[in-house]
Structure formats: C-alpha cells, structure tokens
Structure 1
Amino acid sequence: MNIVKITMAAALVTFVAAGCCPCKKYQKKYGKPLQETEWKMVQFNGRTFDAQDGYTVVFGKDNRLGGVGDCNRLMGSYTADNDGVMKISQVASTRMMCPDQAQENSFMQMLGSVDSYQMDGPLLILFSNGEMKAVFEAKK
C-alpha cells in the first residue's frame, strides 16, 4: 500500500515539474501584467459573465484600483505580491442608479473580499477564502 502511495506521489511531482516549463512559456508569451492592464470580467461566481462595456478593473502602479461596474465608475486601493496575495480595500463608486444595481453591488462586495489571485496567460483569477470568485480577461 505504501509503495502505491509513493509511486503516485512521485508521478504527481514529475507531472507538476514537467508541466511547469510550458506554463511559464505560455504566461510569458500570452500573459499580461497585473498592473496597467484593463481586465474585463468574463466569469462571476462560477458562471459565464457577458457584460457589454462594464465590469472592468485596472490595477495602477500607485496601488490604486479603477474600473467600471454596471454603470458606475469604481475606485479603491489594493496591495498584491508575487506570491498571489491580494487585498482590495476602500472600494467605492459613483452613485448613479444602474439597470442592474444588485449585480453591481455584488461585484463591488466581491472585490472587497478578495484575498488572493492567480494569473494564467491573458486571464486574471480572483479568490476569496480559497474559492474562485471571478475571472477577468485582458482587453486587447
């Protein structure tokens, strides 16, 4: 039984190590930097999300966050490190009444709950307590 576990663990380590190089090449070729890229939300709370012009964020080099919800402009601050830890705080918006105000409110609450992120090529994935909350794609 222990031999099976050891063999499986060795296979997993080999698979992960072998998969690492192509991953890094993919990120280098297709990836976008976290900062100064406009990110458009394409998935929210586990569902495909298709917003025409809204639901974007930009992480500035000055640790300021900007973006657009359903119809309001968003602002806030953030910290992010290379290990995937992210904290978004002081999220605020303009105060226009949007056609889908409940969706925009959920979006803003999600941003405030983010504690980590991952980048995969042109995608930015935001997490809260280990649960994927949103996926963004770099706008071209």
Structure 2
Amino acid sequence: MNLRFFELTAIMLVLFTSCNSNEKKNAETASEDIIVEEVVIDSHTSENALDWEGTYIGTLPCADCEGIERTITINKDQTFVAKDNYLGKKDGVFDSRGYIKWTDNGQKIMLSDDNETSYFAGENTLTQLDQSGNKITGELADLYILKKQNVSQDDDIVFTDTKWILVKLKGKDISESEAFISFATEENRVFGHAGCNTFSGTYKIKNNTQLELSKIATTMMACPDMTIEDQFMDVLNTADNFSLNGNTMTLNKAKMAPLAVFETAE
C-alpha cells in the first residue's frame, strides 16, 4: 500500500512540474509575440508651422447692421491691432489693440480684447470661434473666416495692367455696375469706369503697397443714379494703400477696413 502511495505521489509531482513548465513556456511565447508600437507625436502646430504674421480681413454677420468689417493685424512680437466697422451705422468704427495668446497647444489664438475673442489659426485664415472655443456652424459659418492679405514683390505684376471689377463698395455688394479700375504700367496711368463716367489720372506705388492717386479727372455725363459713382470717386480720393489676395484687390485707408473690393475680370 505504501508503495502504491509513493507511485501516485510521484505521478502527481511529474504532472505538476510539466504544467508549470508549459505555463512558463506559454508566458514566454506570449511575451515574444507582443509588438511594441512606436508612438509618433506630431509636434507641428499652427504656431510653429504657419506664417501667421499679417493682416486678416472679413465681413462678419451683424444682428442690427449690414455687417461688421473686421481687420486684424498680428505682428511678429505677438501684438495685434484690430478694427471693427459696423456698416451702415454712424460712429460705428471701433479700434482695439493688445497681445495674442496661443491656446489649445498652439492651434488657437486668443486676443486680449474685452471679449477675449478666439480664432482657429489655419493656412492664411483666422476662423472666429464661439464663446466655448468651438467653430461656428450653420449657413453663416463661412462668414466668420478672416482671410490673410498677401502681398509680395511679384504682386506688382498682377496689380498693374489688370482690369479690376468693383464688387464691393464701402461694405456693400455692388451688382449690375460697369465700374472698374486699371493701373497701366505705361506712364503710371490709372483709368476706369466709375458707374456713369469714365475717369483717368496717374498713380505712384511706394513700399509695395502704399498708393498715391493724383490728377483724377472724369467725363461730365449725368446719370439718373450717381450714388455708386460718387462713393467710388470718394474712395479714389481717400485710399492710400492697396492689398492683394489671389484674384482680389482692395483699396484701403491706413489700416481701416477696405473701402472698395475688386476682382479680376474673367
């Protein structure tokens, strides 16, 4: 009986040792099968990957006016100058200035204005965000995008000898008008159509964007409605700089919102 007991004990000991050995091998095999995934962290942000310095312009929706023309200039030292022009309102121009703060790991910009307005910084765009820091959705979403005004040395080639069709005048869309302007390289001559009469004169460009118009003369034809022409001529007598962005050109006064917006003729 003792012999039988010892035989059973020996068998159980062998089986236990075998199980432990198999478990150890399975554990070692499982550990060998584990694939260590390399986590690649993208360190590119709007702050360090985009050329965000510059001037951005757009017309925002307005509940009690025709629109808010907003111009924001962001400087390399992370200061800003902003101007809001409430279209159709007397004394509706407001200025602010201060500094910017990068948030959301360098993807968004917050201004140090009274409302701490935030923008998502995209490629040549600033998209205004709501008070919770989210993008505004709906049919008017695109109106909250400010576009950067790009000007380079080569832009003079595009600016001159091009027929620029007037599409917006002092914040109002212009339709069914023949108004246009063109800057000829020959003798630095400017000419165009003001809506009723044609006009011509001379121009000078300094520092790539500063514009000086002089000797502007028009024909003397009378038309039933001279509203567009009168405002257009006022712009020509007021504007002191221009900006280019693709096929769009604006005439401006200082750093105010654009006085007139033009597009290239098709």
Residue 204 of structure 2 corresponds to 79
Q: Which amino acid aligns with 1:56?
A: F
The two structures, once aligned, show a CA RMSD in angstroms of 2.9
Contact 2:169/2:231 (8 A) holds in 1: no
Residue 37 of structure 1 corresponds to 162
Contact 2:188/2:202 (8 A) holds in 1: yes
**3-state SS in 1 of match to 2:236:** helix
Residue 116 of structure 1 corresponds to 241
Q: Which amino acid aligns with 2:189?
A: R
Q: Distance in 2 between matches of 1:98 and 1:12?
A: 55
Residue 47 of structure 2 corresponds to 11
Which protein has the bigger helix share?
1
Contact 1:70/1:99 (8 A) holds in 2: no
- After superposing on structure 2, the runs of 4+ consecutive aligned residues of structure 1 that deviate more than 3 Å are 12-15, 17-20
Q: Structure 1 residue 101 and structure 2 residue 226: aligned?
A: yes
Q: Which amino acid aligns with 1:125?
A: T
Q: Which amino acid aligns with 1:11?
A: E
Q: Structure 1 residue 56 and structure 2 residue 92: aligned?
A: no
Displacement of 1:51 in angstroms is 3.1
Q: Assess, with a 3 A threshold, how the Cα gap between structure 1 residues 11 and 44 changes in structure 2: closer, same or farther.
A: same
Instruction: Please give the TM-score of this superposition, normalised by the length of structure 2.
Output: 0.41
Residue 192 of structure 2 corresponds to 67
**3-state SS in 1 of match to 2:216:** strand
Aligned length: 123
Question: Structure 2: where are the runs of 5+ without partners?
Answer: 1-45, 54-121, 125-147
Q: Assess, with a 3 A threshold, how the Cα gap between structure 1 residues 12 and 92 changes in structure 2: closer, same or farther.
A: farther
**3-state SS in 1 of match to 2:190:** strand
Question: Structure 1: where are the runs of 5+ without partners?
Answer: 1-9
**Percent of aligned positions that are identical:** 26
**3-state SS in 2 of match to 1:16:** coil
Residue 7 of structure 1 corresponds to none
Q: Distance in 2 between matches of 1:36 and 1:14?
A: 32
Residue 126 of structure 1 corresponds to 251
Instruction: Please give the TM-score of this superposition, normalised by the length of structure 1.
Output: 0.75
Mean Cα deviation higher: 73-82 or 84-93: 73-82
Q: Which amino acid aligns with 2:197?
A: N
Q: Which amino acid aligns with 2:163?
A: E
Contact 1:76/1:92 (8 A) holds in 2: yes
Displacement of 1:93 in angstroms is 0.5
Specify which structure has the bigger relative contact order, considering alpha-carbon pairs within 8 angstroms and separated by 6 or more residues. Answer: 1
**3-state SS in 2 of match to 1:33:** helix
